[in-house]
Structure 1
């Protein structure tokens, strides 16, 4: 007869012991990411080791610590599956000409009078198509900087418009890794999460576009050099079959979302359509289409911007995010199931007694994590585990938490000069965080709206006592 394992019993820990692994991880993160310019994986592993030591110090056996890590990883598995599918769909859509078609028609709408509005909208379109703010800024953003500067528009202003547009898609695209992380780690359906973000993101986008329209009015008589844009359009035209019919592929996914089809089947349909498009529309062979799914699309056009944008996607490209998620959740698993997070939360919850204070505390925690850990992903992963049960206990739907994580984590990362996002933008667009911050309008308007909504109760969704008890019982069963 197989002996059943006893459920893990969380220990009562002092706040000092509970925050020690976090403090060590944050210090290691600052040194590794900012000083050594390396990734966040090793600091997370160091934090995991310290967390394991603290758990052992408080009476947990090693096999129990291992179980905590495995439980943490299990919590992230839904997000990992979606992230893998995202890599496949990016490769399929690039290979199938879908992304090229969206960029082609986006570039066609540039006009001198409304350059800031136009470049922001183009970055929105591109980032929605590929789910990556960094790739959008590193390609369309770089081109936009050159074009805008030739019109006499300040670099900080152009950078702000590019960043707002790029992060709109990074936040709202079902292909975005941060969007999938926020949804997956809170147990929220991906498209339920995206629909709930409409309340804060769409009004903020409108505010940003109106502001860019007003800011750009003084440059309406400036001339624009169309050479670089026309060159890019020409390269796209030569390298892909451009057809408005290809826009039916992302439209099909949107329709499936509207019909409330679950995320995985909807994404699989998008992958299949992109795969078939690469073969039957673009004229590629099956081997190259499969290669685009596995290792990403490969193209050499001689145009640096086009090559940078389109040489990406595939399963392999998602392994960094997958590995980071797994490592982060081993750390989070120990903090969660040993009782360390509960000790920290007990202190926070003494102040967070209402939906308003809970959302405000979540956004503040995300921003603080961005500033201390210097990594956008961690600003979602750690607060997700810290606040998940608190939202349930307060009778708040998980989509309130997933939205707050993105409002406070994804978007505020750009305001920290030593955060990986701030460092990337400086190196790519040549503008520092303190310079472009006033013009990254979407990025600070969204968290402000989120806090205001929580204060007045707008779009704050609650769950019934039955739903609350069902969630708590499920958590107990999985513990």
Structure 2
């Protein structure tokens, strides 16, 4: 990582962000383009600002590479998920999950059911991405078969997956927030109950209300039965195929890292396509690279199960890399530090400090495009400020998760936003209104800060004089 003593003034640090956001709005809204070029423009402007402030090109170049290196684990997982979708489509695994889901779940309660299913799995394995890449894929197929809008289903999947990710002691972001703030892990999780449980309850009530319009009429049941028949005619359906996703979930739950667990899932799907569905080795390899293609003559079935492959993820991979070049320059040249320090200097009490922390996490998600940075940077910047204000560290750890972990999904170029687009096939603008947990929790957290509810102050014997602001070591 880069270490520099140069300090970039606040307004100069803000310039690349303002230019990037303006270019993003024009490109996406006016020209209906992709976010890649605005992000690249932001990287260029940030690099020019850093150069004018005395940074050498070598330092700027290294900061770009540091940003890309931070994205590499996400890139590997994105590629693996593309392969898993292709192999599970070809192996009939997704078709089996959709078939049994249609036979067991009611349309009016589907949104509530899929939220709870994703929450339970995510708590067990501690990973929202793995949950969305397994249960979420099937949930999208079941919801589509029931006539429920894709954005609505994706929102329910995301809410459930992130509830479990946030509340699981196995979650990397949960451990990260607790560790960076020197907060006991289970004290941190217990404190998050105050904001996260009301958030999921609000989401479940909303999903129950939204789902009530999808009643099980005779016509609807006929459509579902027809879909099940078409699936059964197109794939070999067996409950034994459910062992494949179950195996992956158990592996991750047993603390096997995501990459080898997902790789094993790809291997099982590949074997299922050959030995269960009767595919050839060539077609199975093609499904991993180009995605599984089915041609039944039924448009809905063909569009539902023709998906996946490495190639389908290249848009997502390229956007992740470009976004992280921008984030790398902002983080490693101290621009983001300058902005966050300016924001922290305007806080006088918990009523303003916690909302400022949440806002900083969101801004970091939007600028650095990585959920982990949105937890790490504000944690470093605000830890001494919380001590100064006499606030317990668990207030900071909760604010980091409420503002960082959850809001990452709302940024189209953030690694979480691009992963959801690649996996669930739904863009931010479509699912954002329905990812109810993810925006209700930050709002609840801000309300608590203003009212003082569940805000814990340091006892007199715990109060530590504030040390100078922790310097970012980049």
TM-score normalized with structure 1 length: 0.70
| Residue matched to 1:390 | 381
Aligned-partner Cα distance in 2 for 1:443–1:121: 18
Number of the residue aligned with 2:226: 231
Match 2:344 to one of 340, 343, 349: 349
For 2:73 and 2:177, locate their aligned partners in 1 and report how far apart those are by CA, in whole Å: 10
2:18 & 2:411 partners in 1: Cα distance? 21
User: Contact 2:92/2:272 (CA < 8 Å) preserved in 1?
Assistant: yes
Aligned partner of residue 226 in structure 1, secondary structure: helix
Shift of 1:241: 1.3
Q: Quick one: structure 1 residues 201 and 237, their matched pair in 2 at CA, closer, same or farther if it must change by over 3 Å?
A: farther
**Match runs of 1:393-408 below 5 Å:** 401=400, 404-408=403-407
Query: Which residue is 2:408 aligned to?
Result: 409
Matching residue of 1:298: 293
Matched, 1:50 2:38: no
Cα offset, 1:273, TM superposition: 1.5
Residues 231-272 of structure 1 deviation map (CA, whole Å, 9 limit, x = unaligned): 221221111111111111111122112211122222122122
Is 1:117 the counterpart of 2:109? The answer is yes
Task: Identify which of 6, 17, 33 aligns with 2:12.
Answer: 17
Residues 323 and 29 (structure 1), Cα distance of their counterparts in 2 relative to 1, 3 Å cut: same
- SS of 1:261's equivalent in the other structure is coil
**Could you give the per-residue CA deviations for residues 273-315 of structure 1, whole angstroms, max 9, x where no partner exists?**
1121111111112222211111211111222232222222122
1:119 touches 1:144 (CA, 8 Å); kept in 2?
no
Change (3 A) 1:7 1:21: closer
Please give the per-residue CA displacement for 1:363-412, whole angstroms capped at 9, x wherever unaligned: 43566789xx7x9x948588467536437777779897466434223159
Contact in 2 for aligned 1:278/1:289 (Cα 8 Å): yes
Superposition CA RMSD, Å: 4.8
Structure-2 residue corresponding to 1:281:
276
Pair 1:66-2:61 in alignment = yes
Q: Does 1:168 align with 2:152?
A: no
Q: Which runs of 5+ in 1 are unaligned?
A: 1-5, 147-157, 175-179, 414-418, 459-471
Equivalent residue, structure 2, for 1:154: none
- Summarize deviations over 1:197-253 as a string: whole Å, max 9, x none: 996777745543345446766987965432322222122111111111111111112
CA distance in 2, matches of 1:62, 1:222: 66
Equivalent residues of 1:76, 1:326 under 8 A apart: yes
Matched pairs, number: 417
Tell me, in whole angstroms, the C-alpha distance in 1 between the residues paired with 2:164 and 2:306. Answer: 19
Deviation string for 1:133-176 (max 9, x for gaps)? 79976x65555447xxxxxxxxxxx78853532433674799xx
Aligned to 1:468: none
What is the CA deviation profile of residues 396-451 of structure 1, one whole-angstrom value per residue up to 9, with x for unaligned ones?
798974664342231598xxxxx999x9xxxx99x999xx95x7644544444566
- Which of residues 76, 79, 82 is equivalent to 2:77? 82
1:314/1:49 CA distance change after superposition, 3 Å: same
In the alignment, the residues of structure 2 paired with residue 81 and residue 355 of structure 1 have an alpha-carbon distance, to the nearest angstrom, of 40
- Once the two structures are TM-superposed, the CA of residue 356 in structure 1 deviates from its matched residue by 9.1
Q: Which residue of 1 aligns with 2:463?
A: none
TM (norm. structure 2) is 0.70
The unaligned stretches of length 5 or more in structure 2 are 119-128, 166-170, 180-184, 387-392, 457-469
User: Would you say the 8 A contact 1:133–1:169 is kept in 2?
Assistant: no
Contact conserved, 2:94 with 2:138, CA < 8 A, in 1?
A: no
